[in-house]
Amino acid sequence: MAASNVILCGICDAQHTSHVADYWCPECDEGLCSTCKNHHGVSKASRQHGIISIDDYKKLPAEICKIEQNCTEHDKKFQMFCPRHDQLCCIMCVSENHKECTGMFLIDEAIKSSRTSTLFDSLEKSLKDIQENIERVVKDREANLVEIKQQHLKSLHNIKDTRQKLNSRLDDLEKHMIDNLNSTETQLKLKIVTLLNKLSEKKNEIEILKTNLMSVKQHGSDLQAFIGSKMLEKDVAEELKYVKNISKDDGFSQFGLKCQIDDKIIDILSNIIRFGSIKIEKSKSPIVIGVGHEKQAQFFTAVQPRSKSIDDITASLIGEFSVLAGKSSSCITGLSVFPDGRMIFADCYYNNRLVIVHNDGTLDCEIPLSPLLPFDVTCIDDKTVAVTTLFQHKVVIVDTENRQVTNAIKTGRCRGITYRQGQLFYCAIEKGIHAINVSNNKVRTIVEDYTIKTDWSYITTSGENIFYTGYGSTVKCYSIRGEKRWEYKDTSILSCAWGITVDQHGIVYVILNRDVVLISADGKKNRTLLTGENGIQESYGIYLHTNKLYVVSFTGQFLQFKMA
């Protein structure tokens, strides 16, 4: 294409006149005005040329416009195509360089059907695949950024919490040391003061003896002086004996106080050179890219970690506490965990509240939601949660810092809820699985499932999959695009499936009244992991956080198990 936006008619220009071109002939590689276009269309040499408007020509990519119509080496028109060399050829090219090539065909035959060929469909499909892959990579990387932010907040909390514990422990040790110092000083002072008091009494006694001695000596008769001196001699002897033995008194010792700091404390000051370390954990991305002509509808698929059997999983109780009681009996129907490790409980029916606690069970805050009845809860970020309501037919968004409802989304009857990459997935009674776009509150149907009839349907996600408990003893797995993976039903094991969570291996944990049941990643096997003998009571809330399993009973008894 010419550098200027104005393209002149090539025929007129050859005749030294200037007319703006209205059309373009790709084969002649020049513009045509309206008059020359008519001549061009009736000329025997060019009547078969496919001309286009100049406006359409300007819309073509620059690389396409630069395509040569003639062979640059022989200055002859391209007539053949060589599949072996993927090259356009003129007659001279064929005779000189492609004598041994097979499968060559005329370009004129091929270009007639080029617009309707499968190549365009294949290219369009490939471009669509590429675009979808890029979009998924963008979403995955954005999710990774969110995850890094969450890990940053969690690490920051861990650092500050450790520092606080260190300060608290050092304060306790310091107080104990100072108390011991004060007590020791008091003991030593008491011993010395006791001796000083005795000596003070002795001084008084000596003064009396001195006075008596002088009185007898100066004023007594000879007989009195004789007998008196003998009497005083005994008293002086007693005092001499006391002075000689005074060194044996405990208060006579030379006392001193010495403060000896424990070597482990000194190690903190001298040997410990850092508080900890920050490391980058790098692993293979949980998605794979799929594009190519040999496959249909290529998408990212979740890459599962190395498979693990449900028979290899063990759980050991490492902690328990009771959720702080409300005004009435607790009815805990939902559980979720913030990025910093705090837990949030939905206390339905009587207390109408959310309860946030630290990982040791101490209370962070309570958020009253009356008259709403919070059924299930999921964390969106470190301060925002989404809550389904039992009878109000809506999902509410709650700012836990301000303890205020910031948004309400009408949904119909909804129960279990979970958050994934900007979307809220929830169980819609007698409708199926729906998703809410958090950015615009738009609701769409993911899975149509009219068998969801129970008030105790819960949901979770892992990778590209959705898992939920349905009617009776059913557990179902769908992709996030609504494609059914598997369905598991066993009335002998799952008489009524309630809370649900899933680990990194795709193994599903379902809570059943007083049991926690495992279902294999392919939905074909089950195993009872925990029972009432392990402390499991009637429970609905279950959650996997790192390598720990959390279970909270309906009455608020919280159990923490270490998974291995």
pLDDT tops 50 at residue 299: no
Neighbour-count burial of 484, counting CB atoms closer than 10 A to its CB (0-12 exposed, 13-18 middle, 19+ buried): exposed
pLDDT tops 50 at residue 515: yes
Q: Give residue for tokens 């009845």.
A: 373
Which CATH architecture describes the domain 310-563?
6 Propeller (2.120)
What is the pLDDT, as a whole number, of residue 74? 87
User: Which pTM was predicted?
Assistant: 0.49
What is the pLDDT, as a whole number, of residue 3? 42
- Of 74-88, 117-131, 290-304, 454-468, give the lowest mean pLDDT range: 290-304
d(CA 143, CA 141): 5
What is the pLDDT, as a whole number, of residue 313? 93
H or E stretch covering 529 = strand 526-530
What is the pLDDT, as a whole number, of residue 297? 36
Q: How many C-beta neighbours within 10 Å does residue 13 have?
A: 15
Mean of the per-residue pLDDT values of the chain: 85
pLDDT tops 80 at residue 276: no
For residues 457-482, one letter each, b for 16 or more C-beta atoms within 10 angstroms of the residue's C-beta and e for the rest, the string is bbbbbbbbbbbbbbbebbbbbbbbee
Nearest to 71 by CA among 97, 90, 91, 98: 90
CA 522 to the chain's CA centroid:
25
Per residue in 318-364, pLDDT (tens digit) is 999 999 888 888 999 999 999 888 999 999 988 999 999 998 889 99
Neighbour-count burial of 129, counting CB atoms closer than 10 A to its CB (0-12 exposed, 13-18 middle, 19+ buried): buried
What is the pLDDT, as a whole number, of residue 553? 93
Reported confidence tier of residue 114, pLDDT bands at 50, 70, 90: low
Reported confidence tier of residue 564, pLDDT bands at 50, 70, 90: confident
Reported confidence tier of residue 489, pLDDT bands at 50, 70, 90: confident
Which CATH architecture describes the domain 71-110?
2-Layer Sandwich (3.30)
User: Would 71-110 and 310-563 be classified into the same CATH topology?
Assistant: no
Which CATH architecture describes the domain 1-67?
2-Layer Sandwich (3.30)
**Residues near 162 by beta carbon (within 8 Å), at least 6 away in sequence:** 275, 276
Q: What is the mean pLDDT of residues 458-475?
A: 87
Domain boundaries, the chain: 1-67, 71-110, 132-270, 310-563
Per residue in 50-61, pLDDT (tens digit) is 788 888 888 888
Per residue in 393-402, pLDDT (tens digit) is 999 999 999 9
What is the pLDDT, as a whole number, of residue 12? 93
